[in-house]
């Protein structure tokens, strides 16, 4: 597996990471069997994956416990990324609003360290911006945790370029996590230029469009009743029908590269910047292999021009999130 560094930090990790959310929280499918997921996580390490992304809110708490159990025997080989920012009851049964008060950040850090079975969190993200807490206070608290040796790097998720700058002025931000893929390119307007200027790495989630860019979904696909995509405007049958043009483009390039559409979608992301590390999620071993294979696909300048030209005529149909969740992003 190729290695990359996030921005100008010294945090080196695999070019393809692993988003672990779906292993214990069924946004898109029924969560996997716990022991099967432990085996999957360890198999990913064996295949060279070193970045594993989780959060206290996934479960809640269940995903951190799963990741901690699976990766404790190989802790020195991996980078653990987790997140704070929500108000969750101690039993994990009640999810309130946002909470990035300094005392709460500290509580989450200590609880996450315990669940992850580690003495330091490699990358600690603010999951969503809390409008009630100045971002300088948030960054300052993480700075203290770094000084105390409990955290190594500070990350932010789904923020505006302006907020990113304010936080970075207090404590260097190592990584920005947000949605980015061939059919969701809002990050290119301000976020990616800001990351490049400040030396911040970029970690795209949903890099294959929540499964759509794999080519396994069309307008006739029926999702499970509990599938989060049932609530997403971009996944209505009509939107899916229109957005299939993105899949057709990926299939065309994939045919030349002896690859899959998902692999080309990931390779395209890797080709955008040397400091971009996508974190596709899966619960299936064959998808791990497929995603890892994307790191070996070389898109030529001609391939990238072809994709850029074609994609410029393909405006995606539908918002990427339901309105209430969309309002929580870009703060």
Q: pLDDT tens digits, residue range 64-107?
A: 999 999 999 999 999 999 999 999 998 888 788 999 999 999 99
Starting at the edge strand found earlier in the chain, the sheet holding 173-179 runs 18-19, 51-53, 79-84, 121-126, 151-157, 173-179, 201-205
Residue 23: pLDDT band with limits 50, 70, 90: very high
CATH code, domain carrying 115: 3.20.20.100
Query: 28 an active-site residue?
Result: no
What is the per-residue pLDDT across 182-224, written as a single tens digit (0 to 9) for each? 999 999 999 999 999 999 999 999 999 999 999 999 999 999 8
Average pLDDT, the chain: 96
Q: Would residue 263 count as lying in a domain?
A: yes
Of the candidates 168, 264, 262, the one whose C-alpha atom is nearest the C-alpha of residue 210 is: 262
Please check whether residue 177 is in contact with residue 156, taking contact to mean a CB–CB distance below 8 angstroms: yes
pLDDT for position 257? 97
- Name the DSSP letter for residue 242: H
Please check whether residue 141 is in contact with residue 171, taking contact to mean a CB–CB distance below 8 angstroms: no
Which uninterrupted H or E stretch holds 173? strand 173-179
Q: Would residue 249 count as lying in a domain?
A: yes
Domain count along the chain: 1
pLDDT for position 28? 66
pLDDT for position 200? 98
pLDDT average, residue stretch 238-255? 98
Please check whether residue 74 is in contact with residue 117, taking contact to mean a CB–CB distance below 8 angstroms: no
Residue 31, pLDDT above cutoff 90: no
Residue 29, pLDDT above cutoff 90: no
**Residue 220 sits in which domain range?**
3-326
Q: Is the pTM of this model over 0.75?
A: yes
Catalytic residue (choose from 27, 28, 58, 180) = 58
Between CA 186 and CA 189 the distance in angstroms is 6
pLDDT for position 210? 95
Query: For 148-220, where are the alpha helices, taking DSSP H only?
Result: 161-170, 191-198
Of the candidates 301, 291, 321, the one whose C-alpha atom is nearest the C-alpha of residue 231 is: 321
Q: Would residue 223 count as lying in a domain?
A: yes
Phi-psi region of 66 (alpha: psi -120 to 50; beta: other; left: phi over 0): alpha
Residue 30: pLDDT band with limits 50, 70, 90: confident
Q: Would residue 49 count as lying in a domain?
A: yes
What is the per-residue pLDDT across 133-181, written as a single tens digit (0 to 9) for each? 999 999 999 999 999 999 999 999 999 999 999 999 999 999 999 999 9
Q: Would residue 331 count as lying in a domain?
A: no
């Amino acid at each position: 597996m190729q290695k990359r560094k996030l921005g100008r930090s010294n945090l080196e990790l695999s070019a393809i990471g692993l988003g672990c959310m779906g292993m214990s929280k069924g946004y898109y499918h029924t969560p996997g069997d716990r022991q099967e997921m432990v085996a999957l996580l360890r198999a990913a390490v064996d295949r060279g994956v070193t970045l594993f992304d989780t959060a206290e809110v996934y479960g809640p708490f269940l995903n951190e416990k799963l990741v901690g159990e699976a990766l404790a025997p190989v802790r020195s080989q991996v980078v653990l990324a987790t997140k704070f920012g929500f108000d969750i009851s101690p039993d994990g049964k009640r999810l309130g609003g946002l909470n990035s008060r300094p005392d709460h950040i500290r509580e989450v850090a200590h609880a996450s360290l315990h669940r992850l079975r580690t003495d330091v969190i490699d990358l600690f993200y603010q999951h969503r911006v809390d409008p009630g807490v100045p971002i300088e206070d948030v960054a300052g608290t993480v700075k203290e945790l770094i000084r105390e040796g409990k955290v190594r790097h500070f990350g932010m998720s789904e923020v505006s370029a302006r907020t990113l700058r304010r936080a970075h002025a207090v404590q260097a931000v190592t990584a920005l996590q947000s949605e980015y893929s061939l059919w969701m390119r809002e990050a290119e307007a301000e976020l990616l230029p800001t990351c490049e200027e400040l030396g911040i790495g970029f970690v795209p989630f949903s890099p294959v469009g929540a499964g759509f860019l794999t080519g396994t979904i069309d307008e006739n696909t029926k999702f499970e009743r509990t599938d989060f995509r049932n609530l997403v405007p971009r996944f209505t049958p009509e939107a899916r029908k229109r957005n299939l043009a993105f899949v057709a483009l990926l299939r065309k390039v994939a045919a030349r590269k002896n690859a899959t559409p998902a692999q080309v979608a990931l390779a395209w992301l890797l080709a955008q910047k040397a400091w971009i590390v996508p974190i596709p999620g899966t619960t299936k071993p064959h998808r791990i292999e497929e995603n890892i294979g994307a790191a070996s696909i070389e898109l030529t300048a001609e391939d990238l021009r072809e994709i850029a030209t074609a994609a410029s005529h393909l405006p995606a149909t539908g918002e990427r999130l339901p309105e209430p969740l969309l309002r929580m992003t870009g703060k």
